[in-house]
Amino acid sequence: MAYPGSFDHQSNVNPAQLTRQGQLNSAGDARALYLKLFSGEMFKGFQHETVARDMVMKRTLKNGKSLQFIYTGRTTAEFHTPGNSILGNDQGAPPVAEKTITCDDLLISSAFVYELDETLAHYELRGEISRKIGHALAEKYDRLIFRAIAKGARQASPITKSGLVEPGGTQIRVGSGTNESDAYVAGNLVTAFYDAAAALDEKGVSGAGRCAVLNPRQYYALIQDIGTSGLINRDVQGSALQSGNGIIEIAGIKIYKSMNIPFLGQHGVKFGGTTGETSPQRMPSNVADDILDGQASVAGLNNNYGGAAAFDKSCGLIFQKEAAAVVEAIGPQVQVTSGDVSVVYQGDVILGRLAMGADFLNPAAAVELYVGASAPSAFGATYPANT
């Protein structure tokens, strides 16, 4: 007999009375909403970290391994002679070239979460792991796109028809010395930006969608200098300006910062500059996603993104949206094990994945900034082949 206020251990609770916070409308899988929460955290991490996704052409790839882009050159204008029929110009303009971008193999980032660790942890484990998985995918995504833009800045135009040759990419030297420190001098960068804007204008590249991506130290060097150089009024400086979200503009070019651009042989993580650390250091070559994985022989890559040596003098990118394109066969997704698999391993494998490929499109819309006496050499195949 149960006494007043006591708990009857033999009484049963109707399962319908239980509040299962992981269920959707109190029905189905008791963990369903937990997985949806994880998905949201992964996507949030990816969207927060990626910079390049909305700066270039993006297409969805379905039912195929590659996607074709058509490049159309300029045509000509001529005066009409009375009595002559109009059957198109005698040069066959506008000329057309093809660009094919192949999807690389499946890109994944995963972690195993042991159920006991989740139980004992005093903090929410899956949300933090999900964000890190999103960050990892976004970093790789951006690195491949930025390297494709740098590759395009070194290429000739795909249009090679006699008399109708289009302009190719542009490489601009930052400073007049041969030291890497030239890349951090605000005055050098400002001069390079105006040179780049003039080059894009002269090549007929649209002024809409022009942007630049710099190493964080370069970006902050510009912020410190803009008050005296007249680039922007000091009254508008603040947290928004310092966030690196394209607030500064030079010659109509929005400037962003990212550690994922190819920068002096690394991904923008060359510590130290003209001030600060007295002994600049590079990240070790065996860190995850090292730029060496850009070598064409690396398994999983079906586009040539270049190796570390190809970017040892590169120090910034200026480009318009048509400079490069990315194809996505599988957009950012998350998968989590459950059921019998979770029982056997007493935990879940959390997997973020995507399938994409990137390459340059219109070289005329790409500008690479570099330091040193000579511009970096071109690499990879030109139109129409793609290696």
* Cα-Cα-Cα-Cα dihedral sign, residues 110, 113, 118, 120: negative
CA 176 to CA 329: how far, in whole Å? 44
Q: How far is CA 293 from the centre of its chain?
A: 16
CA 99 to CA 107: how far, in whole Å? 23
pLDDT at 275 > cutoff 50? no
Strand partners, 59: 327
3-class secondary structure per residue, 117-170: HHHHCCCCHHHHHHHHHHHHHHHHHHHHHHHHHHHHHCCCCCCCCCCCCCCCCE
Residue-wise pLDDT for 185-229, tens only, equals 999 999 999 999 999 999 999 999 999 999 988 988 888 776 555
pLDDT at 172 > cutoff 70? yes
Question: How large is the average pLDDT for residues 136-148?
Answer: 92
pLDDT at 277 > cutoff 70? no
CA 267 to CA 340: how far, in whole Å? 41
What are phi and psi for residue 381, nearest 5 degrees?
-80, 160
Question: What is the CATH number assigned to the segment(s) 32-71+92-370?
Answer: 3.90.1690
Check residue 99 and give its pLDDT: 83
Higher-pLDDT residue of 289, 355: 355
Alpha helices in 6-124 (DSSP H): 32-49, 115-120
Token pair recorded at residue 284: 């070790």
Higher-pLDDT residue of 192, 296: 192
Check residue 335 and give its pLDDT: 83
Give the contacts of 90 (CB within 8 A, at least 6 positions apart): none
Check residue 278 and give its pLDDT: 46
Q: Is 197 exposed, middle or buried (0-12, 13-18, 19+ CB in 10 A)?
A: buried
Find where tokens 């250091």 sit. Answer: 281
Give me the sheet containing 170-173, strands edge to edge. Answer: 170-173, 366-370, 314-319, 211-214, 253-257, 245-250
Is the distance from CB of 170 to CB of 205 less than 8 angstroms? Answer: no
3-class secondary structure per residue, 64-84: CCEEEEEEECCCCCCCCCCCC
Is the distance from CB of 253 to CB of 231 less than 8 angstroms? Answer: no
Which residue in 66, 108, 84, 125 sits closest to 327, CA to CA? 66
Residue-wise pLDDT for 23-82, tens only, equals 767 777 666 666 555 566 766 777 777 888 889 988 888 888 888 887 777 777 778 889
Question: How large is the average pLDDT for residues 152-172?
Answer: 87
Is the distance from CB of 78 to CB of 89 less than 8 angstroms? Answer: yes
Check residue 40 and give its pLDDT: 67
